[in-house]
Amino acid sequence: MGANTLKTALFLTVLTLLFMTVGGLLGGSSGMMLAFVLAFGMNMFSYWFSDKIVLKMYKAKEISETEAPELYNIVKRLTIKGDLPMPKVYVIQSPNPNAFATGRNPEHAAVAVTTGILKLLDNSELEGVLGHELAHVKGRDILIGTIAATFAGAIMMLANMAKWAMIFGGFRDNDNRNPLGMIGVIVAMVLAPIAAMLVQMAISRSREYIADQRGATLSGNPLALASALEKISYGVKKAPLNANQATAHMFIMNPLSGKKNMANLFSTHPPVEERIRRLNKQAKGL
């Protein structure tokens, strides 16, 4: 098991423990269960219909082998090598050079690329990018992201429930029984959602590192993927995609602007320089 896989497991454990602790303190057992059920329901709907929702959002068009033989055959070759079912292949009309994978499992997967990335990359670089996306499919990263989003969403719901309970006096009766006290509850309401979001973002970044490593192994050329990431980073800055913030984590690189966030802790993607450094190191190992 790799270091990033262990990190993912650790972060999910931390998120679970944070939910249980905050849930017990802010909402009690009944409030905790209600928040979890609501968050689970919303995220499972998104998980089950993720392919249809996201592809429709970006007006992606499914293509056949005859319409785009090079693209289709690269995906086909990688799926055979990776022992994966053949996913549906989509193209999005956008100058933003990007790609993403979606679908609830490998049997219902889809990969989508923009026209911008098809123009920007050569075949070996494109193969590295598609290997990265298929690594997400094989690693069931949509499911892992849904689990993380469920716990993070439940914690945010608990904080909102506590806020409204405080406004309407719901905490007065329980104030003596709550070990945090009123000040502690307020602090937990503010800090718990931030902590949950930080852990959720850390999980997303760890899965990107894993997909880079596994995708480079699948394509057989870490340097090509490193070159692709460098080109994509530059291309995204020139042509940002009018993307939904909620789906930005799905792309191989944040499509919104390409600018660095105020802090990497709040980013869904690792710094591109670090991704390239790791891929160069992987190439030396090969």
**Residue 7 CA to its chain's centroid (Å):** 15
Of 226, 219, 204, 221, residue with least CA distance to 275: 226
Please write the tens of the pLDDT for every residue from 36-77.
777 777 767 776 777 788 898 899 999 999 999 999 999 999
Residue 75 identity (one-letter amino acid): V
The arithmetic mean of pLDDT across residues 169-177, rounded, is: 51
Which of 31-45, 81-95, 137-151 is most confident?
81-95
Residue 140 identity (one-letter amino acid): R
pLDDT reading at 27 higher than 90: no
CB 150 within 8 A of CB 144: no
**Distances 33 to 173, 186, 188 between C-alpha atoms, Å:** 20, 21, 18
The residue with greater pLDDT, 80 or 263, is: 80
What local confidence, expressed as pLDDT, does residue 181 receive? Answer: 59
**Distances 117 to 27, 121, 124, 211, 255 between C-alpha atoms, Å:** 47, 6, 13, 18, 12
pLDDT reading at 9 higher than 60: yes
Read off the pTM: 0.80
d(CA 74, CA 186): 53
Tell me what the pLDDT averaged over the chain comes to. 83
Which residues fall within 8 angstroms of residue 67, CB to CB, at 6 or more apart? none
d(CA 216, CA 223): 8
pLDDT band at residue 263 using 50, 70 and 90 as cut-offs: low
Which residues fall within 8 angstroms of residue 6, CB to CB, at 6 or more apart? none
Catalytic residues: 133
